[in-house]
Amino acid sequence: MRTRSTILLTAALGCMMAGLVFAQSGEKKSAAKPAEKKEESKTPKGNALRGRSLFEEQCSICHFTASPAKKIGPGLKAIYRNGKFSSGKKVDDPSMRAWIENGGVDMPAFKESLTAQQIADLIAFLRTL
């Protein structure tokens, strides 16, 4: 009888230990996922000076910075202060990023040719206009 209770007690303790190990391994995995998502959605901080240089190389052929007048694309003077694209849509960082990445009617998409950092730099520069 004593051997049987020892076996049952050992089996019960083993099941509890396995449950604890399993629960802890599940907590580690679920705790890591939100951190990974945060890193993926983190937008780099832009540098307006680098953005200005990049704008001159990539964007100035189509856009004015000192005028709202149309060149090939719309002039970008005070684009953030005015608060609207030429299409009437609201201007903010996410919409500007989407516009640069995906392009528009006459604007090519730059998602494949510019890095996230370069787009952040461009946005930082556009905020200064």
Which parts of the chain register pLDDT below 70?
Answer: 1-41
3.30.70.270, 3.40.50.450, 1.10.760.10, 3.30.1300.10: which CATH number matches 48-126?
A: 1.10.760.10
Please report, for the chain, how many H helices and E strands are present, in that order.
5, 0
84-113 residue pLDDT tens:
887 888 999 999 999 999 998 889 999 999
How high is the pLDDT of residue 31? 46
Largest CA distance in the chain: 95
- Which sequence spans correspond to the domains of the chain? 1-42, 48-126
Rounded alpha-carbon distances, angstroms, from residue 59 to 52, 63, 103, 105, 129: 10, 6, 12, 16, 14
Give dist(CA 95, CA 127) in Å, integer. 13
How high is the pLDDT of residue 6? 54
